[in-house]
Amino acid sequence: MSLLIKTCGLSTPETVDAAIDAGATHIGFVHFEKSPRHVTLERAAELRAMVRGRAQAVVLLSNADIETTSRAIDMVRPDVVQFHGSETPEWIALVRETTGVEGWKALGLSDAGTLERSVKFIGKVDRLLFDAPARELPGGNGETFRWDLLCGHQHQVDWGLAGGLNPGNVADAIRATGTPLVDASSGLESAPGVKDVGLIRAFCEAALSA
């Protein structure tokens, strides 16, 4: 299977076009007001229209209530909802079943125990996204984690790797973990929330060459 590449936190037509042209398969829009990458649902819907037929659109939510989750899906019509808070397996499964939209769950990987606890998501999510542990923000903090924790792990659900990935380390991350999907956000920025077209292109190129 070909490598999947997700560029997250995009907010302009220029960066969306650059990412898709460079080989990104998934374009992420963050709807979480505390994040410097936050976009309104109206803006996400506009950018999502650019993505249709070219890549998969992902809306990232963090502990969103029922109303916000419903509005995000209705307005943006994403291919995927990425849950990036403390959402339960049951809640994600309910959203998937009632909307038909893929549900991904981001998990902060701090130790082997996280992998053991991740089994509760089997059958409830379409993909687990292993990230650095949350800090003030649930993600997009530009921090990596111990990739060796994933070495030899027998994954029972589709998965991906996030957490501090950038053009300089993504190839090493792929070789170290064998991840089928890489996800970058802050590593593609010249300033918090400001995506850099050059970094986006370099990231995709490095990932595809690994």
- Taking only the tens place, the pLDDT of each residue in 62-103 is 999 999 999 999 999 999 999 999 999 999 999 999 999 999
Write out the H or E segment, with its range, that includes residue 81: strand 80-83
Judged on CB neighbours under 10 Å (0-12, 13-18, 19+), 134 is middle
Residue 56 makes CB contacts below 8 A (sequence gap 6+) with 25, 26, 27, 79, 80
CA-based max dimension of the chain: 42
Q: Please give the single-letter amino acid code of residue 119.
A: V
Helix, strand, coil shares of the chain, percent, nearest 5, are 40, 20, 40
Residue 117: pLDDT band by 50, 70, 90 thresholds? confident
CA separation for the pair 177, 204 (Å, rounded) = 17
Mean pLDDT of 151-170: 92
Which tens digits make up the pLDDT trace of 15-68? 999 999 999 999 999 999 999 999 999 999 999 999 999 999 999 999 999 999
CA separation for the pair 81, 28 (Å, rounded) = 9
Which tens digits make up the pLDDT trace of 163-185? 999 999 999 999 999 999 999 99
Q: What is the pLDDT of residue 89?
A: 97
Measured over the CA atoms of residue 192, residue 197, residue 202 and residue 207, the dihedral's sign is: positive
Domain boundaries, the chain: 4-209
CA separation for the pair 170, 203 (Å, rounded) = 7
Q: What is the pLDDT of residue 132?
A: 83
Q: What is the pLDDT of residue 50?
A: 97
Which tens digits make up the pLDDT trace of 123-138? 999 999 999 875 555 5
Q: What is the pLDDT of residue 57?
A: 98
pLDDT at 198 over 80: yes
pLDDT at 1 over 80: no
Mean pLDDT of 178-204: 97
Two structure tokens written together for 26: 């998934």
What class is the 4-209 domain? alpha beta
Helix axis angle, 41-51 relative to 13-22, nearest 10°? 40
pLDDT at 139 over 50: no
Comparing 39-43, 104-108, 140-144, the range with the smallest average pLDDT is 140-144
CA separation for the pair 46, 31 (Å, rounded) = 14
